[in-house]
Amino acid sequence: MIEPLKGREQTMGTLILRRFFKHKLAGVAIAVMLVLIASSLLADLNPFSPTDQNPTNKLRDPNTAHWMGTDELGRDLLSRIMHGGRVSLAVGLFSTVLSILLGIAVGALSGFFGGWTDSILMRITDAFLTFPSIFVLIILGAFLREQQLFVLQNSIFVVIVIIAALSWMWPARLVRGLFLVLREKEFVSASKALGGNSFRLIVRHILPNCAGPILVSGTLQMASAIITESGLSYLGFGVQPPTPTWGSILSTAQNQIFTAPWLGFFPGLMIFITVMAINYIGDGLRDAFDPYVIHTE
């Protein structure tokens, strides 16, 4: 006898959410990320400006007025960290989205059509994978900024594009692998038999089934994009001053290492916390999307 379903019906979404929050640290990580996002969105509520200089009030230790102290130009560090978070998180998010879109396009074409399309696209992917990416990022960062084109004067835009341009290979390979498996499945043949064209097969039938793995690898990629942006800005080839980002704050803090070591502590800590939180969210998503995962709590 078939037992009637007890309780409310569970959709795929609620099931995934339930499984996600079973991973306790992932829940904590979501909360941490929400705080970080809120603090950077509400950065303007901070009474101190991130750019106004105050020569009489420089290099103060953390105190009740300036919770993280002030930097070498007398700017409030907390305010700079909050505004910097806005840039760092936005660069991480948008470069990841862009890179994943690029990767999906390449991977889907490659995996779905196979043959010549596949070999050519995969050779290009391999070529990009052998690029020592940080070196190329630095060259591009230095080079593009010197061009006269108007959009290239915006260093945030440049950083987003170049990080995406050198990281789409991982989602491309992942999506290609998934497509190779999924295109042989019965539901794809069924749709084909019903007259679905390639575009419909790719977008409506195969792609939705790749959502889980793409999301999981996307989180890891966002973490590494944030580290890359900070690193690039730290080296002086990313987002340009006076726009604060965690990386560039760390870079100027380096000069004050003897007089004010805490200046470098806070921006690095923010990068660290963000990356930790994103990694744990990725961990939780992996559990949530994997029906075979064994919960060990």
Residues found near other proteins in the complex (CB under 8 A) = 123-124, 126-127, 129-136, 138-139, 142-143, 146, 223, 227, 230-231, 234-237, 250, 253-254, 257-258, 261, 264-265, 267-269, 271-272, 275-276, 279-280, 296
Residue 22 CB, nearest approach to other proteins (Å):
17
The DSSP symbol for 292 reads T
Residue 221 CB, nearest approach to other proteins (Å):
13
Considering the complex, state which of residue 210 and residue 271 has its C-beta at the smaller distance from other proteins. Answer: 271
Considering the complex, state which of residue 3 and residue 297 has its C-beta at the smaller distance from other proteins. Answer: 297
Considering the complex, state which of residue 10 and residue 255 has its C-beta at the smaller distance from other proteins. Answer: 255
Write out the DSSP string of 55-77: GGG-SPPS-SSSTT-B-TTS-BH
Q: Cβ–Cβ contacts within 10 Å for residue 288, how many?
A: 22
The DSSP symbol for 295 reads P
Considering the complex, state which of residue 48 and residue 227 has its C-beta at the smaller distance from other proteins. Answer: 227
Considering the complex, state which of residue 201 and residue 270 has its C-beta at the smaller distance from other proteins. Answer: 270
Considering the complex, state which of residue 79 and residue 228 has its C-beta at the smaller distance from other proteins. Answer: 228
Residue 264 CB, nearest approach to other proteins (Å):
5
Burial class (CB in 10 A: 0-12, 13-18, 19+), 95: buried
- Please, what's the b/e burial string for 101-116 (b: 16 or more CB within 10 A of its CB; e: otherwise)? ebbbbbbbbbbbeeee
Contacts of residue 49, defined as CB under 8 A and 6 or more positions apart, other chains included, come to 75, 76, 79
CA quadruple 38, 42, 45, 46: dihedral sign:
positive
Which of 283, 268, 282 minimizes the C-alpha distance to 226? 268
Residue 94 CB, nearest approach to other proteins (Å):
20
Residue 227 CB, nearest approach to other proteins (Å):
5
Residue 175 CB, nearest approach to other proteins (Å):
18
Contacts of residue 66, defined as CB under 8 A and 6 or more positions apart, other chains included, come to 48, 60, 76, 77, 78
